[in-house]
Amino acid sequence: MVRYEIARRHLIAEFGGLSLRPAAALRPPAQSFRYTSVSSPEPRTVQMFKARYTLPATRRSLTHKFVVGGHEGYLTIGLHTDGSPGEIFIKISKDGSTLSGMCQAFCRAFSLSLQYGLSVEEAVARFKGMRFEPMGQTANPEIPHALSIVDYVARFLELRFADLSVRPADMLAVA
């Protein structure tokens, strides 16, 4: 129960600045299972939390300028030493707007997901195709139309980082 309490406090500290209450952190842990061994009458608990794989203090990054439906922004992707993405930041031209705040919240959650082990392929599958404003034409010929900024980011990550094991290193070079 001590690990659960530490994880709960960590989530509240991470998301507290967004005035959000992580509902899953307030329930008993669903990731905890009890196994009873035939040789031992005492059940043991196995925690399924992964360690957080944080980025080094000095890291490489990729910055990409984009336009979706007339809204200009910059996508910055912080890279691990192996070249895989570990965090993302989106800077929208309309600073202080609701759109900018939601983009920052999305980036924080997305970055934490990557650092706790969500693969780029899984992330792309979950965020690609999300449809909401702003949407429309983009300045990127590889992604001519985006259904939202989240859709654009997912598709850009898919083009650059999906299935790193089979893509040659020169495909990851900045275009």
pTM metric for this prediction: 0.65
Q: Would 52 be classed as within a structural domain? A: no
Residues 109 and 162 in one domain: yes
Q: Are 74 and 22 found together in one domain?
A: no
pLDDT, tens digit (0-9, with 9 covering 90-100), for 65-77: 999 988 999 999 9
19 or 7, which is more confident? 7
C-beta of residue 66 within 8 angstroms of C-beta of residue 75: yes
| Comparison of pLDDT for 21 and 134, the residue scoring more | 134
Residues 77, 146, single domain; the answer is: yes
pLDDT in tens, 23-51: 444 445 444 444 444 555 555 555 556 78
Q: Are residues 161 and 126 in the same domain?
A: yes
Buried b (16+ CB within 10 A) or exposed e, 84-94: ebbbbbbbbee
pLDDT in tens, 79-128: 999 999 999 999 988 767 888 889 999 999 999 999 998 899 998 999 99
CA distance 124 to 53: 19
What sign results for the dihedral spanned by CA atoms 6, 7, 12, 13? positive
Boundaries of domain holding 163: 61-172
Residue at 134 is within a domain: yes
Strand stretches in the chain, DSSP E: 33-35, 44-46, 61-68, 71-79, 85-92, 136-137, 145-146
Residues 7 and 67 in one domain: no
Q: Which is higher by pLDDT, 2 or 83?
A: 83
Q: How far apart are CA 71 and CA 43, in angstroms?
A: 56
* Dist. CA 128–CA 109, nearest whole Å: 16
* Domain match, 84 and 23 both: no
Q: Say if 88 falls within a structural domain.
A: yes
113 found inside a domain: yes
Over residues 48-57, mean pLDDT: 80
Let me know whether 35 and 75 are in one domain. Answer: no
Query: Would 53 be classed as within a structural domain?
Result: no
Number of other residues whose CB lies within 10 A of the CB of residue 11:
17
CA-to-CA separations, 13 to 25, 27, 29, 91, in angstroms, rounded: 11, 16, 18, 23
CA distance 62 to 79: 8
Do 77 and 33 lie in one domain? The reply is no
On whether both 13 and 74 belong to a single domain, the answer is no
76 and 33 co-located in one domain: no
For the chain, how many structural domains are there in total? 2
